[in-house]
Amino acid sequence: MKNLYKFMLLPAMVLPLIFTSCDEDRDDNPTVDLSHVGENFVLNTPANAANNTFDLASASSLELTCQQPNYGTGVPYFVRYYVQASIDPAFLNDTTVAHKELNTAYTSAKMDVNATELNTAVVQLFQEANPDVPNVPVMPVYLRLRAVIAGSDANVETKSNTYSNIITLPSVKATYVAPDVTYPAQLYVSGPSIQNGSTWKAVAPVYGVEGNYFTMVYVPDGGKFTFGTTSGEVRGFNRLRSVTVNSDANTTVTDAGDESHSLTFSKGGWYTLLFTSEISADKKSIFFDLTVFPAHAYTIGNATGDWTDANPALEMTAPATADGQWVSQAFTAAGELRAYIKVPGFDWWRTEFTIYKGALFWRDRDLPDGWHYNADGKGIDPSYGVQCAVGQKLYVNFDTNTGEVK
């Protein structure tokens, strides 16, 4: 038989992923008979399995063959086969012990089992049984098939459910393969001066620029914080590929030298943080860079009578403390609120926010006609659009990300 796939062998042998030839499904003189369904359902042991090591992580598929269950003389039923795997030798006599069934269903008595799927199942079984052991050893794996008649009524399908014998692959190498990383939906920062150190503050994505995130924080002299890709994850200075302090930001940022490698600011004040990220070529790692800017926030739009980005006349006044409010200039006309944190290098609308139920809501959609409409013109909740009157001002607490127009 020709070799279609090859496993890497330990230590030096190469084992083809072709098992013994299969028996053809019976297809003559159909007769429904489920009284002997468990008979003749035989999973064949692979040729050369006894003297070789199957390297699942290096293979694309694993060929298994079987004899079809006894569904009656010559019945050409559409049968689905599912592979079950265990690493516990007790499975040979007790099929209630830990095992996993692979998700893929096969419709032929000769099946190319997805080696990656089997590898994942074996790794999971080992990790669940040995949570403190980092590496999966070469070990035996026990396999059987579950078969069921597909497309029949529920009663027939239930009664047709049956299991093959169990075979042993004496030497199997399974390897943990890290999943491909993706850009987080948002980041988080945490520190004693951020929301009183009580929680993790969300860092919003820059609208339309994947892998970029921004926020505004207040830190006192010597203040420090950490960041994370999830709430509660602690990453510090040592987890950043680079830290750049803009020349207009009157501070230095260093490693605090504590257990968390917190980022420490030499001079206190309000700062805008821009996290940029890059996924490695193999998609297994993500690298973060941080740029620190002095904090600036602005209003813009019809309610201000001006659409100029970063117009000094429309800059909000910063408070001296973390719990203070940023205050805009008085609005000069009626119109919808348009406001943003200015992040150098990005258009204002990429870091825009509105106020929704008292909280800042960062732009996450196209707004051709303002916050009342999304890209396809369908109306969204009108309360996302805040209407401003002449003489009113915008008040924002950028520590808690809350605000109001009054």
- Whether 187-294 and 6-173 are alike in CATH topology: the answer is yes
Query: In which band, very low, low, confident or very high, does the pLDDT at 13 lie, cut at 50, 70 and 90?
Result: very low
- Reply yes or no on whether the pLDDT at 26 is more than 50: no
Residue, of 375 and 91, whose pLDDT is higher: 91
Question: Is the overall model pTM greater than 0.75, yes or no?
Answer: no
Structure-block tokens of residue 301? 């739009």
Domain boundaries, the chain: 6-173, 187-294, 297-405
- pLDDT tens per residue, range 171-182: 999 999 888 999
**Mean pLDDT calculated for residue range 253-279:** 97
**Mean pLDDT calculated for residue range 38-66:** 90
**Mean pLDDT calculated for residue range 44-54:** 89
**Mean pLDDT calculated for residue range 344-354:** 98
**Mean pLDDT calculated for residue range 127-149:** 94
Query: In which band, very low, low, confident or very high, does the pLDDT at 109 lie, cut at 50, 70 and 90?
Result: very high
Q: What is the mean pLDDT of the chain?
A: 88
Which residues have CB under 8 Å from 179's CB, separation 6+? Answer: none
Instruction: Assign domain 297-405 to its CATH architecture.
Output: Sandwich (2.60)
How high is the pLDDT of residue 172? 96
Q: Which of 271, 275, 403 is nearest to 339 (CA)?
A: 403
CA angle 212, 337, 377 (to 5 degrees): 75
Query: In which band, very low, low, confident or very high, does the pLDDT at 21 lie, cut at 50, 70 and 90?
Result: very low
DSSP 230-275: STT--B-GGGEEEEEE-TTS---EEE--STT--EEESS-EEEEEEE
**Mean pLDDT calculated for residue range 321-350:** 97
- Reply yes or no on whether the pLDDT at 19 is more than 90: no
Instruction: Give the whole-angstrom CA distance, residue 283 versus residue 280.
Output: 5
Given CA atoms 225, 230, 233, 234 in this order, what sign does their dihedral have?
A: negative
How high is the pLDDT of residue 160? 77
- Reply yes or no on whether the pLDDT at 300 is more than 80: yes
- Reply yes or no on whether the pLDDT at 344 is more than 70: yes
**Mean pLDDT calculated for residue range 251-274:** 97
- pLDDT tens per residue, range 141-173: 999 999 998 765 666 667 778 999 999 999 999
- Reply yes or no on whether the pLDDT at 111 is more than 70: yes
Q: Which of 44, 56, 40, 14 is nearest to 143 (CA)?
A: 44
CATH of domain 6-173: 2.60.40.10
**Mean pLDDT calculated for residue range 362-379:** 73
How high is the pLDDT of residue 369? 81
- Reply yes or no on whether the pLDDT at 343 is more than 50: yes
Chosen CATH of 187-294 out of 3.40.50.150, 2.60.40.3620, 1.10.340.30, 3.40.50.300 = 2.60.40.3620
